[in-house]
């Protein structure tokens, strides 16, 4: 019986082999479809890359900063499209749907799980690298910025026109505007002005049917969902109209470091009671790093004002830290951005160079996040510190970011981002390493999971909250096919708490067939 069965398989095998060379494979059909859909097919074809094009790899790698996603065993897109016109995006969506290909949208490529350029099904990347204009209107204090621009480009264009305007988003200059704002986006101004998503006043959006929508035509709920509900679920945001915020001409940046021998444990413990209640103008953080057998705690603050104003405040609120004038420096807000990137001696133009890597970021990394509602005891802190001196934690930084300020006063359902009042601080575990191969990675990933496990009783519970922009697939993910509401709710509640339900409702209306999807996209209710 075995022999004839084998023979019967031969035609099938041959057919499968041939389908790769015939113009009937899904991606050949997809490319053919694109050429039919474009009114200028010769210039559009210059924007389309398949593995046979010599520049495919450099285009793909151009914004893959996390080297663990560059290795050969990571699945690659069949096609990368770098549109320059809305019609190119519409054609790509249309042809992907028609030929059963998934699409991933990439702006700055910083997704911590690589979801903008990695998928386990045949897929196409829409790379917005050419949608990066920034238009700043100082008089009206607004800016239109396209999703493919970096935060560095946005900040540079604002600073070019005004020393006292800024935008409240992350300090790392290579991050893309598109993914960042989609997930909320916080930085050194968030205790004063809230998240990037809180400061969006209009958008240009493309839905699954290729319709272009703005704030008015998309309706309140979709405008709510795309300002914090995470990228890649609802459609493609092409551009954002931002409300710019005021910063003083002089800001102050201070850092004091203390080792365990210099009472770091007591000081971190004390900080938990103080930082949350500091004025909105202060951005207090602690970076914890293992060094040989000790831990160094770097107490940093950015203050919207002068050293002369800041020192008496800290002397009054946190005398134990012993902050002095020599720990601080005055600068413009844009210089504080360079400082946070470790490029303070470079000309501002470095912010326009999207191929210049942030020097303080390790080649490979994995992140996790937590929220803390009650101060952690010294014993609890020491348990984390002892793990930070493990060899596998060599290049890891754990950062505590104080909450409070305006975050306590914005309603939990104002945007999808629910982590507002009730949180003392957020923890960001940035597990980094120097090696780029997958064998070493496992050791560091294990350390990350072990440390996160240790923290369970010390942080928020039911759900254990997490921040979508610090994406972590360990907390739950969707299936490749159908995913039930109950399954998605596991990770969804952690990122969005009660707002998850409304995100599912919006998704069901705008993209009922779940075309825009990935491992942690909002599922529709079927």
Ligand X SMILES: *[C@@H]1O[C@H](CO)[C@@H](O)[C@H](O)[C@H]1NC(C)=O
Residues 328-367 that bind ligand X (CB under 6 A): 353, 355-356
- Answer whether 461's CB lies under 8 Å from 373's CB: no
Characterize 89-107 residue by residue with b for buried, 16 or more Cβ atoms within 10 angstroms of its Cβ, and e for exposed. bbbbbbbbbebebbbbbbb
Task: Find the shortest distance in angstroms from Cβ 195 to ligand X.
Answer: 29
Task: Find the shortest distance in angstroms from Cβ 310 to ligand FAD.
Answer: 22
Stretch that binds ligand FAD, among 174-182, 242-250, 373-381, 489-497 (CB under 6 A): 174-182
Q: Does 311 bind ligand FAD (CB under 6 A)?
A: no
- Selection from ligand FAD, ligand X, none that 379 binds (CB < 5 to 8 A by kind) is none
Stretch that binds ligand FAD, among 137-145, 164-172, 263-271, 292-300 (CB under 6 A): 164-172
- Selection from ligand X, ligand FAD, none that 355 binds (CB < 5 to 8 A by kind) is ligand X
Residues 265-324 that bind ligand X (CB under 6 A): 291-292
How far is residue 34's CA from residue 47's CA, in Å, rounded to a whole number?
A: 11
Angle (CA) 267 268 271, round 5°: 85
Q: Does 48 bind ligand X (CB under 6 A)?
A: yes
Task: Find the shortest distance in angstroms from Cβ 231 to ligand X.
Answer: 25
Retrieve residue 251's tokens: 């800001």
Q: Does 44 bind ligand X (CB under 6 A)?
A: no
How far is residue 272's CA from residue 409's CA, in Å, rounded to a whole number?
A: 20
- Answer whether 252's CB lies under 8 Å from 310's CB: yes
Task: List Cβ neighbours of 482 (8 Å cut-off, separation of 6 or more).
Answer: 526
The torsion region of residue 393 among left (phi > 0), alpha (psi -120 to 50) and beta comes to: alpha
Task: Find the shortest distance in angstroms from Cβ 87 to ligand X.
Answer: 4
- Selection from ligand X, ligand FAD, none that 85 binds (CB < 5 to 8 A by kind) is ligand X
Q: Does 176 bind ligand FAD (CB under 6 A)?
A: yes
Q: Does 263 bind ligand X (CB under 6 A)?
A: yes
Question: Do strands 294-303 and 397-402 pair parallel, antiparallel, or not at all (unpaired)?
Answer: unpaired
The single residue among 24, 45, 324, 479 that binds ligand X, judged by CB under 6 A, is: 45
Instruction: Name the helix (H) or strand (E) containing 294.
Output: strand 294-303
Strand partners, 204: 239
- Answer whether 256's CB lies under 8 Å from 322's CB: yes
User: Whose CA is closest to 304, among 245, 244, 340, 253?
Assistant: 253
Q: Does 39 bind ligand X (CB under 6 A)?
A: yes
Q: Compute the chain's Rg from CA coordinates.
A: 24
- Answer whether 102's CB lies under 8 Å from 125's CB: no
Q: Does 228 bind ligand FAD (CB under 6 A)?
A: no
- Selection from ligand FAD, ligand X, none that 292 binds (CB < 5 to 8 A by kind) is ligand X
- Selection from ligand FAD, ligand X, none that 39 binds (CB < 5 to 8 A by kind) is ligand X
The interface mask with ligand FAD, positions 350-379, x = CB under 6 A, is --------x--x------------------
- Selection from ligand X, ligand FAD, none that 53 binds (CB < 5 to 8 A by kind) is ligand X
Looking at beta carbons only, is 27 or 517 nearer to ligand FAD?
517
Characterize 423-453 residue by residue with b for buried, 16 or more Cβ atoms within 10 angstroms of its Cβ, and e for exposed. bbbbbbbbbbbebeeeeebeebbebbeebbe
- Verify cis geometry, omega within 30 degrees of 0, for the bond prior to 75: no
Q: Does 436 bind ligand X (CB under 6 A)?
A: no
The single residue among 89, 115, 129, 145 that binds ligand FAD, judged by CB under 6 A, is: 115
The interface mask with ligand X, positions 87-116, x = CB under 6 A, is x-----------------------------
- Answer whether 118's CB lies under 8 Å from 69's CB: yes
How far is residue 249's CA from residue 106's CA, in Å, rounded to a whole number?
A: 34
* Sites of contact with ligand X (CB under 6 A): 39-40, 45-46, 48-49, 52-53, 85, 87, 262-263, 291-292, 353, 355-356
* Sites of contact with ligand FAD (CB under 6 A): 104-112, 115-116, 128, 147, 170-172, 175-176, 178-180, 182-183, 185-187, 231-232, 236-237, 358, 361, 469, 518
């Amino acid at each position: 019986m075995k022999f004839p069965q084998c023979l019967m398989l031969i035609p099938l095998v041959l057919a499968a082999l041939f389908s790769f060379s015939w113009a009937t494979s899904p991606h050949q059909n997809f490319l053919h479809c694109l050429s039919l859909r474009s009114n200028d097919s010769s210039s559009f074809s210059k924007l389309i890359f398949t593995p046979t094009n010599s520049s495919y790899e450099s285009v793909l790698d151009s914004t893959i900063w996390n080297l663990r996603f560059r290795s050969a065993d990571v699945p690659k897109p069949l096609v990368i499209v770098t549109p320059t016109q809305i019609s190119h995006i519409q054609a790509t969506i249309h042809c992907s749907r028609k030929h059963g290909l998934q699409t991933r949208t990439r702006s700055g490529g910083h997704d911590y799980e690589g979801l903008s350029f990695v998928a386990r099904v045949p897929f196409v990347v829409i790379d917005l690298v050419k949608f990066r204009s920034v238009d700043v209107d100082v008089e009206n204090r607004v800016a239109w910025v396209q999703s493919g621009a970096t935060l560095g480009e946005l900040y540079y264009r604002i600073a070019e026109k005004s020393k006292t305007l800024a935008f409240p988003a992350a300090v790392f200059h290579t991050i893309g505007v598109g993914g960042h704002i989609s997930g909320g986006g916080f930085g050194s101004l968030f205790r004063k002005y809230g998240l990037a998503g809180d400061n969006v006043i209009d958008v240009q959006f493309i839905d699954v049917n290729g319709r272009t929508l703005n704030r008015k035509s998309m309706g309140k709920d979709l405008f709510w969902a795309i300002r914090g509900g995470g990228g890649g679920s609802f459609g493609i945001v092409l551009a954002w109209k931002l409300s710019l915020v005021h910063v003083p001409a002089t800001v102050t940046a201070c850092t004091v470091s203390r080792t365990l021998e210099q009472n770091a444990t007591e000081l971190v413990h004390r900080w938990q009671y103080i930082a949350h209640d500091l004025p909105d103008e202060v951005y207090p953080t602690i970076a914890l790093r293992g060094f040989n057998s000790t831990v160094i705690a770097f107490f940093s603050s950015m203050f919207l004002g002068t050293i002369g104003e800041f020192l008496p405040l800290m002397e009054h609120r946190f005398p134990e830290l012993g902050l002095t004038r020599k720990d601080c420096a005055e600068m413009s807000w844009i210089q504080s951005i360079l400082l946070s990137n470790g490029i303070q001696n470079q000309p501002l133009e470095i912010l326009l160079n999207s191929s210049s890597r942030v020097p303080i970021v390790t080649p490979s990394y994995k992140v996790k996040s937590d929220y803390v509602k009650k101060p952690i005891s010294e014993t609890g802190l020491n348990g984390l510190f002892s793990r930070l001196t493990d060899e596998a934690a060599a290049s890891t930084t754990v950062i505590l970011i104080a909450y409070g300020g305006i975050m306590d006063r914005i309603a939990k359902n104002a945007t999808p981002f629910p982590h507002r009042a009730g949180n003392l601080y957020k923890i960001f575990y940035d597990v980094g390493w120097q090696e780029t191969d997958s064998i070493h990675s496992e050791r560091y990933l294990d350390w990350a999971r072990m440390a996160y496990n240790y923290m369970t009783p010390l942080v928020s519970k039911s759900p254990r909250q997490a921040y979508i922009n610090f994406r972590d697939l360990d907390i739950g993910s969707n299936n490749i096919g159908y995913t039930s509401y109950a399954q998605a709710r596991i990770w969804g509640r952690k990122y969005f708490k009660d707002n998850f339900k409304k995100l599912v409702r919006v998704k069901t209306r705008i993209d009922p067939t779940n075309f825009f999807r990935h491992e942690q996209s909002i599922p529709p209710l079927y």
